[in-house]
């Protein structure tokens, strides 16, 4: 394959083109590798997803008490699924963090100790771009509302309450068919498909601009999705 002229592409342009081509090839391959004759043996109306991820706060005050990386949280989501593509979900999880505050400008550790427990709850609308039976790679997007119970203890001063907000989320799910080649899970338990999932979510959680604890930030997660 040749290009007319002598225009040279910089490394950034080349990388973007390579990334785009790899994405197209992955999606194309997911259609080509689908098992056309492997129809589901049972109805598929529900989903359940267990994920572990790390949260990165974006509020400057909150960042004084958290590292930039790896504030671990766990979430369990489940809900109704229509035609394997459209769904509504509810979820809940937890995050526990303790330690010393970190200076937002210097990055140094201070003497201020803190303990924080959060119990995030969420509702979601979901679109999964699943068009072919046993599609290998399925992109998806989610969006919805957040409700986070928190309890924080800073130098012996305890506060607790409920924070609300919104989030937007996108990711990829990869079909893991090899672990159930004889369809035992589907026959015995009604589990049609199992996926490994990765995603990124931005949450705006500050009770819509009110003062106090701001839990806004990015969350990067990985986990397992069951459809049944």
Report if residue 20 sits inside a domain. Answer: no
Please give the tally of structural domains in the chain.
Answer: 1
Tell me, what CATH number does 49's domain have? 2.40.160.20
Is 211 inside any structural domain?
yes
Q: Tell me, what's the pLDDT at 84?
A: 86
114 pLDDT band (50/70/90 cuts)?
confident
Question: Under a CB-based contact definition with an 8 Å cutoff, are residues 136 and 91 in contact?
Answer: no
Distance CA 200, CA 202 (A): 7
Closest CA to 161 of 102, 215, 104: 215
The 10s digit of each residue's pLDDT in 178-213 is 555 555 666 655 678 899 999 999 999 999 998 888
- Residue 94's domain comprises 44-227
Q: Tell whether the model's pLDDT for residue 25 goes beyond 70.
A: no
For residue 150, being part of any structural domain is answered with yes
- With a cut of 50, say whether residue 6 has pLDDT above it: no
């Amino acid at each position: 394959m040749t290009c007319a002229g002598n225009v040279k592409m910089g490394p950034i342009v080349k990388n973007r083109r390579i990334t785009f081509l790899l994405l197209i090839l992955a999606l194309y391959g997911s259609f080509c590798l689908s098992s056309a004759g492997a129809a589901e043996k049972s109805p598929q109306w529900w989903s359940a997803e267990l994920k572990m991820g790390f949260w990165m706060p974006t509020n400057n005050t909150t960042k004084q008490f958290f590292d930039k990386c790896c504030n671990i949280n766990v979430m369990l989501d489940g809900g109704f699924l229509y035609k394997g593509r459209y769904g509504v979900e509810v979820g809940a999880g937890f995050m526990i963090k303790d330690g010393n505050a970190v200076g937002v400008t210097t990055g140094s550790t201070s003497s201020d100790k803190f303990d924080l427990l959060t119990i995030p709850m969420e509702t979601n609308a979901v679109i999964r771009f699943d068009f072919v039976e046993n599609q290998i790679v399925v992109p998806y997007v989610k969006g919805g509302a957040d409700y986070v119970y928190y309890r924080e203890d800073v130098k012996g001063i305890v506060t607790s309450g409920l924070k609300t907000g919104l989030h937007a989320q996108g990711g990829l799910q990869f079909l893991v068919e090899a672990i159930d080649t004889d369809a035992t899970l589907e026959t015995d338990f009604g589990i049609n498909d199992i996926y490994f999932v990765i995603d990124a979510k931005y949450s705006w959680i500050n009770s819509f601009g009110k003062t106090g604890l701001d839990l806004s930030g990015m969350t990067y997660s990985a986990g397992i999705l069951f459809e049944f």
